[in-house]
């Protein structure tokens, strides 16, 4: 940020300090609103922290500027409209931040000075991960959960009781065990695991696609950008039934009002909370020195990528509660705790250009070309801009400074534009109306309801090299023809050398074997292996065959259903020809397949009957030896209708194989354990899913037990 040009606080005169303080207050309040109420921040966390730090520095020098209720004493933003308000019986505070090791040393020094401890006095600190979710306060009266509230501005939050009651993990509705006080407010973080987030995000994307396929608008389907965003959006749903479907969890870490105040240590309270049914973060450690704290920070930094949840730092807290009481608070945060933050996973950088990529189905996707920037340890130079409408909505222009965010395994995103840094004369981006690869028109489709698709598509079909190449990549991919030795690089090279234009050409590569052996990087053995891998795939499952064609809206699941329905390519193509007019018996029959709708059926019939794509199918069939009908799902196996979760590593099968087998026996395969799970098949290394199964009393099977159950 441009703040480096600012005067050091020590050099500010009272008038300058007053002016800058007022400006910072206003700026921070605006960012608080965007972050907390709109879930749409416009600056990076690091820059936000820098603004706050400067404000506090000014207040430290000119204490008269720190007004009661001013930004520095506030936490978050006032509650969003739509929920009833709850006044917290004790304010929900925030934490001061430490970024450098010296800040942590200062923290310990401050405590020792404040308590007047001797160097020989032991200062025990509890260290735990700082979860990136949203904080909530749960109030229990006589052991019953009576109220749950978000933090809001720290004084007043939103009443989310009905929503919190739908959480499946970590929130007891009635306290377990014994010895709990009549009134107990437990505070902690509502979060989503990374795995759940990815599945949820994929489901939202699928839902959006389904809606589009049915000709409905997908504008109402929010695609979350990270687990925190997903958790916040899910908890703040006005309809608790929606929240109930979201995989939210809760970690407890502190408390508010308690009718019989806790005594002793934080460690002992943690034990009590756990015994009353709360889930606490297991990665906690007891530390005794600065070295211990820093070692913990480094250890958790190293573990960060492999933890199941997002964290943005660690928190250090004084263990002795009497010392916590003596230390008390400075305006918005306790003196007895501090957050040692990790470098931000958001960053600001220059958007140098916008590239248009053309996908398999011809979709033109805008990609931001960025001045490379380090985002949470990864150098990012590309970020997706999704589509034409997104560019307009965010008003992104070439030359803009933008905020980039990287979360989990998701492709980096452009979050927003820093408007103050826009260069003069930056023009709006003109989205191309012609395919940048083949020059043929790129159009937005209009659905039956008159709504325009957000995506613009090249109308060139397989005559467009980009679509042809993407189609070929899809054709050889793992769930399609799965040809070992041919990936993205080889497809691009074979295409460039003019050897392949359509899938059937892959089976004719033998013709080019001699030329290939002469190319750099292709020896005798690798060419022979490649040819052997291709030969093996002349026999292929009918479901893979359909999926590999890359028909719009036809993923693995639909391909399988179509394959089961028609059994052979001949019967399928005959039926599609008969359905060409989109009416009559054959059309009705296609539409009767599960997960089919007019738009999907139309895409399938269109692909099979359009001259260009029909040739692709016919040429391919001419190269294949056998297309094997899929196994019909068994309806009377021991696991038909049962829900199974596989976890840990399996030794006799790959995960995909085990899953396919279970599906073919009529079982449902789920990704997470719930009360509805019938069996959890656990291999070595099984972790949280196994623990969850044991907790819920779900039957746990070894791989051998499972094999016995399904008959080997
Ligand atoms: S202790 C008096 N422990 O981070 C406040 N907070 O940036 C005591 N947070 O407001 C909070 N993980 O929402 C604590 N292990 C943890 C935490 C944690 C995440 C959140 C909490 C807090 C915010 C401060």
User: Ligand 1 pocket test: which of 189, 251, 328 has the largest number of ligand atoms within 8 Å of its C-beta?
Assistant: 189
Strand 337-341 versus strand 97-98 pairing type: parallel
Mean of pLDDT values over 616-631? 95
In the predicted model, is pLDDT for residue 88 greater than 60? yes
Distance between CA atoms of 486 and 473, rounded to whole angstroms?
Answer: 8
Query: Tokens 């806790």 appear where?
Result: 262
Q: What is the dihedral of CA 297, 301, 307, 311, to 10 degrees?
A: 80
Residue-wise pLDDT for 19-39, tens only, equals 888 888 888 877 777 666 665
pLDDT at residue 148, as a whole number? 97
CA of 339 to the centre of ligand 1 (A): 8
Q: Which of 59-63, 340-344, 692-696 ranks highest by mean pLDDT?
A: 692-696
Residue-wise pLDDT for 417-456, tens only, equals 999 999 999 999 999 999 999 999 999 987 656 777 888 9
User: Ligand 1 pocket test: which of 95, 129, 270, 324 has the largest number of ligand atoms within 8 Å of its C-beta?
Assistant: 95
pLDDT band at 3 (very low <50, low <70, confident <90, very high): very low
pLDDT at residue 34, as a whole number? 67
pLDDT at residue 1, as a whole number? 37
Token code pair at residue 456 = 């613009």
Q: Are 384 and 402 in contact (CB under 8 A)?
A: no
Least reliable range by pLDDT among 593-602, 645-654, 684-693: 645-654
pLDDT band at 630 (very low <50, low <70, confident <90, very high): confident
In the predicted model, is pLDDT for residue 4 greater than 50? no
pLDDT band at 572 (very low <50, low <70, confident <90, very high): very high
Cβ burial of 89 (10 Å; 0-12, 13-18, 19+) is exposed
Distance between CA atoms of 616 and 186, rounded to whole angstroms?
Answer: 63
CA of 113 to the centre of ligand 1 (A): 24
Atom 23, ligand 1: which residue's CA is nearest?
A: 94
Residue-wise pLDDT for 670-681, tens only, equals 888 888 899 999
Mean of pLDDT values over 53-72? 71
User: Ligand 1 pocket test: which of 135, 231, 309 has the largest number of ligand atoms within 8 Å of its C-beta?
Assistant: 135
Q: pTM score, two decimals?
A: 0.53
Residues 6+ apart with CB under 8 A from 399: 350, 351, 352, 422, 423, 426
pLDDT at residue 239, as a whole number? 85
Least reliable range by pLDDT among 2-6, 290-294, 672-676: 2-6
Query: Tokens 């159009």 appear where?
Result: 443
CA of 37 to the centre of ligand 1 (A): 19
pLDDT band at 44 (very low <50, low <70, confident <90, very high): low
Q: Enumerate the active-site residues.
A: 130
Q: Which residues line ligand 1 (CB under 6 A)?
A: 93-95, 128, 130-131, 135, 189, 253-254, 315, 334, 337, 339
Atom 14, ligand 1: which residue's CA is nearest?
A: 253
Distance between CA atoms of 287 and 294, rounded to whole angstroms?
Answer: 10
Residue-wise pLDDT for 454-511, tens only, equals 889 999 888 899 999 999 999 999 889 999 889 888 999 999 999 999 999 999 999 9
In the predicted model, is pLDDT for residue 110 greater than 50? yes
Residue-wise pLDDT for 170-208, tens only, equals 999 999 999 999 999 999 999 999 999 989 988 888 888
In the predicted model, is pLDDT for residue 40 greater than 70? no
Helix (H, G, I), strand (E, B) or coil at 379: strand
Q: Which atom of ligand 1 lies at the shortest distance from residue 128's CA? A: 15
Mean of pLDDT values over 636-656? 83
């Amino acid at each position: 940020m441009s703040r480096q040009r600012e005067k050091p606080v020590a050099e500010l005169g009272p008038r300058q300090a007053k002016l800058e303080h007022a400006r910072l207050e206003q700026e921070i309040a605006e960012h608080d609103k965007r972050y907390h109420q709109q879930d749409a921040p416009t600056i990076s966390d690091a820059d936000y922290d820098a603004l706050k730090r400067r404000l506090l520095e000014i207040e430290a020098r000119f204490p008269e500027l720190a007004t009661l209720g001013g930004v520095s004493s506030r936490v978050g933003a006032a509650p969003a409209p739509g929920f009833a308000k709850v006044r917290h019986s004790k304010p929900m505070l925030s934490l001061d931040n430490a970024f450098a090791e010296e800040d942590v040393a200062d923290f310990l020094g401050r405590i020792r000075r404040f308590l007047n401890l001797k160097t020989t006095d032991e200062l025990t600190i509890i260290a735990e991960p700082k979860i990136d979710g949203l904080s909530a306060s749960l109030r229990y009266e006589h052991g019953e959960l009576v109220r749950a509230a978000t933090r809001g501005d720290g004084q007043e939050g939103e009443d989310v009781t009905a929503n919190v009651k739908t959480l499946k993990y970590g929130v007891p509705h009635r306290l377990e065990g014994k010895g709990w006080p009549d009134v107990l407010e437990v505070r902690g973080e509502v979060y989503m695991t990374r795995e759940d987030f990815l599945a949820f995000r994929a489901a939202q994307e699928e839902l959006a696609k389904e809606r589009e396929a049915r000709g409905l608008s997908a504008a109402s389907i929010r695609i979350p950008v990270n687990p925190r965003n997903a958790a916040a959006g899910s908890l703040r749903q006005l309809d608790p039934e929606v929240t109930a479907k979201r995989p939210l969890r809760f970690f407890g870490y502190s408390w508010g009002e308690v009718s019989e105040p806790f005594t002793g240590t934080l460690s002992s309270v943690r034990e009590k909370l756990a015994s009353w049914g709360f889930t606490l973060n297991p990665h906690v450690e007891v530390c005794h020195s600065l070295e211990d704290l820093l070692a913990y920070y480094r250890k958790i930094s190293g573990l960060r990528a492999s933890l199941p949840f997002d964290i943005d730092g660690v928190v250090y807290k004084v263990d002795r509660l009497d010392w916590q009481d003596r230390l008390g608070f400075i305006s918005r945060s306790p003196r007895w705790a501090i957050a040692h933050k990790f470098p931000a996973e958001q960053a600001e950088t220059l958007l140098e250009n916008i590239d248009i990529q053309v996908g398999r189905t011809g979709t033109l996707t805008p990609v931001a070309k960025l001045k490379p920037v380090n985002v949470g340890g990864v150098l990012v130079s590309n970020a997706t801009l999704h589509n034409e409408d997104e560019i307009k909505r965010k008003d992104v222009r070439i030359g803009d400074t933008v905020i980039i965010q990287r979360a989990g395994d998701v492709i980096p995103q452009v979050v927003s534009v820093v408007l103050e840094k826009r260069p003069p004369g930056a023009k709006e981006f003109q989205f191309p109306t012609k395919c940048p690869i083949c020059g043929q028109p790129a159009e937005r489709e209009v659905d039956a309801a008159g709504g325009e698709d957000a995506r613009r598509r090249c109308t060139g079909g397989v005559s467009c090299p980009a679509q042809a190449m993407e189609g070929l990549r899809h054709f050889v991919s793992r769930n399609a023809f799965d040809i070992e030795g041919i990936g993205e690089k080889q497809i691009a090279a074979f295409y460039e050398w003019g050897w392949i234009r359509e899938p059937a050409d892959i089976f004719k590569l033998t013709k080019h074997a001699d030329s290939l052996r002469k190319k750099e990087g292709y020896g005798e053995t690798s060419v022979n292996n490649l040819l052997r891998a291709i030969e093996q795939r002349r026999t292929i499952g009918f479901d893979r065959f359909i999926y590999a064609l890359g028909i719009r809206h036809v993923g693995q699941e639909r391909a399988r259903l179509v394959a089961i329905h028609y059994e052979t390519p001949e019967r399928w193509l005959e039926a599609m020809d008969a359905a060409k007019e989109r009416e009559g018996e054959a059309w009705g029959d296609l539409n009767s397949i599960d997960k089919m709708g007019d738009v999907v059926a139309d895409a399938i019939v269109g692909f099979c009957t359009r001259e260009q794509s029909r040739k692709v199918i016919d040429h391919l069939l001419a190269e294949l030896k056998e297309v094997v009908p899929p196994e019909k799902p068994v309806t009377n196996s021991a696991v038909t209708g049962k829900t199974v979760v596989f976890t840990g590593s399996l030794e006799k099968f790959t995960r995909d194989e085990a899953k396919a087998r279970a599906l073919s026996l009529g079982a449902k395969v789920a990704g997470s354990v719930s009360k509805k799970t019938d069996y959890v098949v656990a291999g070595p290394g099984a972790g949280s899913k196994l623990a969850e199964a044991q907790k819920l009393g779900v039957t746990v099977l070894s791989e051998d037990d499972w094999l016995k159950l399904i008959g080997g």
